[in-house]
Amino acid sequence: MTLTCGVDEAGRGPLAGPVYAAAVILDPARPVAGLADSKTLTPRQREALARDIHSRAIAWAVASASVEEIDTLNILQASLLAMRRAVERLAVTPRQVLVDGLYRPRLAVPVRAIVRGDATVAAIAAASILAKVARDKAMLVLHRRHPQYGFDRHKGYPTSAHLAALRRHGVSIVHRRSFAPVRVLLVS
């Protein structure tokens, strides 16, 4: 059996919070029904699928890159760093890694990027689900610390409500200062 690992990230577009990545090696003998791109699933479906992935996968891991790393490296490099961390945390070393998108993290094993891989490759879909579930949970923790921003509703994405809260309350320590809507508020 070739141990193929799927990798995806969640949280490249938000103005706040870390970016998360997950790595998953699925077990062909224990398939997970219903895998799909996490963006097409409801929160309840993602949670149920995450439980199935946790119990049926050969190996899985989740990692993140901090707001500080995002602001220092840029969001693409921070995403690739989170992906590398996730793969390196796996309890089993994969023979190959399939990553959603155009860019590949540097790893000690062969890596292939697949555009729309989260919709076409089961292991990448599983990784997209785990990354999204982990990031959403992290944003709920940040909401409890900073309720004025409404992270429980928009998860840090630049919605009109989030932008209004930023203008009203200013930039918090969990906001990405390198992102234009936040950076503009820092200089005004």
Q: Which domains does the chain have, with CATH numbers?
A: 4-135 (3.30.420.10)
**CB of 118 closer than 8 Å to CB of 95:** no
**CB of 99 closer than 8 Å to CB of 7:** yes
d(CA 9, CA 82): 8
d(CA 124, CA 126): 5
What are the pLDDT tens digits along the chain (188 aa)?
Answer: 679 999 999 999 999 999 999 999 999 999 999 999 999 999 999 999 999 999 999 999 999 999 999 999 999 999 999 999 999 999 999 999 999 999 999 999 999 999 999 999 999 999 999 999 999 999 999 999 999 999 999 999 999 999 999 999 999 999 999 999 999 998 86
Nearest Cα neighbor of 7 from 168, 130, 108 is 130
Residue 140 burial (CB count, 10 A):
12
Residue 114 burial (CB count, 10 A):
16
d(CA 16, CA 71): 11
**CB of 125 closer than 8 Å to CB of 153:** no
Question: pLDDT at position 2, please?
Answer: 76
d(CA 52, CA 73): 34
**Phi and psi for 102 in degrees, rounded to 5?**
-100, -20
Question: pLDDT at position 1, please?
Answer: 62
Question: pLDDT at position 188, please?
Answer: 66
**CB of 33 closer than 8 Å to CB of 20:** no
Question: pLDDT at position 187, please?
Answer: 80
